[in-house]
Chain A
């Protein structure tokens, strides 16, 4: 053990000549200067572009500048120590190809993340819907997008899936439309239905006066005439109005005598005579059995 240690000490002593010590010191100084310059320059660039670009792009550019500068100084430091950089870079190239094959998914997410950051389909704070998940965007990172759903669950969505699937940004435009689907009985007066619905929207201050509410007849359904009543509202009032307008439609229909029917079935005996129907009086009070 002591022989091994003494051999190591001798070899280290042979290597660490005065010249080598100076080279090491120069490399260390280069690295320290690189750290300071990279930090200062990345901060200056952040200040310069902070007002012009969204925070994700600012953060990305800042990190790129920082690591690029730091990398240059590390390479210069290694060169100072006598490393053959062409060999090192060649090895790094082979290594990166190998790492690329090994981490295809991560690389795909990384590239997708760059697309997301520069395409800007949504920003931090927006509400988006991806597949069955709806939530507020907490962060757009290089590998994934983080959401907070409305039931307060943290969701991480890989960037690759965001690029491949349909993403709906619910908070992009300042106003939104609420489509209320309602069925009315076949014997309803449709003019009365229209007037009742329009008056309901008019009474609710959250329902926009312009664009005007819209009533569409969707289909003659099995049990009802199916209608769609669309009202517009400011984005921040969407949830409040969506609930309230349906309650108000129900109350207005009740008041106006418009029936919202249950599913109905009409029994028919075909070409034969109608089925005889006999009302049977309930039996007189029978003694309860034991």
Chain B
């Protein structure tokens, strides 16, 4: 019988599981079971297609480990303590956001879009924590972003509402929100049907309401092309005052990086 069920606050935390004890977590469609043993951990995980769009989470301490565990994995460790740490992480590739309704940004105009990025679950065991696994809370579709089928970059693609109004943005537990300031300084209007966010360069911050944020990103388009200069303002965005840093970026970026951010040959 589960000892305790929790679904409030944030899901990223450290848990102590004595040998023989198990627990279950669900973050969006991702279900995770963990069983602690003598110098070993067993994991099982699966994605429930019926909860594909779910954004909530829950934790059941003491939930039994499945008899026929899906994606069963076993990790043998030294005497590092009975701690299991769950943490969030941004994707390992850039994420292409596809607005459900593409739009034009007129010349000499700028706007701030609130764009969601998928979150990976990072599992670590022991003290100090040793990372054993990273799992997407929802596997986004692979995509390709580039000028041709020969040159480009492997990305993930997600559909987004690309909201401009922060008040309409619900609290998601398996997505991080990036405020993206887009400046169109070119002579023509910008047809925004896809936007590439370089999320491996971004950090994660946890807001007061357990919402995950990244730094504010500015993309400035000055020529009639899909290229834009990228600027990442360090620290939490002003929309989340007092947000605490949770994870560091996977990659460090050079200042004034010019990236292909809008559209592509296939668009």
- Distance of A43 Cα from B194 Cα, bound (Å): 51
A212, CB-defined interface residue at 8 Å: yes
Measured as residues with beta carbon below 8 angstroms from the partner, the interface class of chain B is 10 to 19
CB neighbours (8 Å) of A202 from chain B are 141
With A210-B266, A211-B266 as known contacts, state yes or no: A175 contacts B144, CB within 8 Å.
yes
With A173-B150, A174-B152, A175-B149 as known contacts, state yes or no: A211 contacts B141, CB within 8 Å.
no
Interface string of A93-114 (1 = CB under 8 A from B): 0000000000000000000000
A159, CB-defined interface residue at 8 Å: no
The answer to whether B149 touches A173 (Cβ under 8 A) is yes
The answer to whether A209 touches B157 (Cβ under 8 A) is yes
The answer to whether B142 touches A208 (Cβ under 8 A) is yes
CB neighbours (8 Å) of B149 from chain A are 173, 175, 211, 232
B264, CB-defined interface residue at 8 Å: yes
- State the main secondary structure of chain A at its contact with B: loop
Closest chain-B Cβ to A184's Cβ sits at a distance in Å of: 25
The answer to whether A208 touches B144 (Cβ under 8 A) is yes
- Distance of A204 Cα from B194 Cα, bound (Å): 20
B154, CB-defined interface residue at 8 Å: yes
Interface centre among B143, B150, B152 (most CB of A within 10 A): B143
CB neighbours (8 Å) of B266 from chain A are 210-212
The answer to whether B142 touches A209 (Cβ under 8 A) is yes
Q: Which of B137-159 contact A (CB under 8 A)?
A: 139-145, 149-150, 152, 154, 157
- Distance of A173 Cα from B147 Cα, bound (Å): 13
Closest chain-B Cβ to A49's Cβ sits at a distance in Å of: 26
With beta carbons under 8 angstroms apart, the residue of B139, B141, B152 that contacts A209 is: B141
A185, CB-defined interface residue at 8 Å: no
With A210-B145, A210-B264, A211-B266 as known contacts, state yes or no: A205 contacts B140, CB within 8 Å.
yes
Interface string of A204-226 (1 = CB under 8 A from B): 11111111100000000000000
With A210-B157, A212-B266, A234-B154 as known contacts, state yes or no: A205 contacts B144, CB within 8 Å.
no
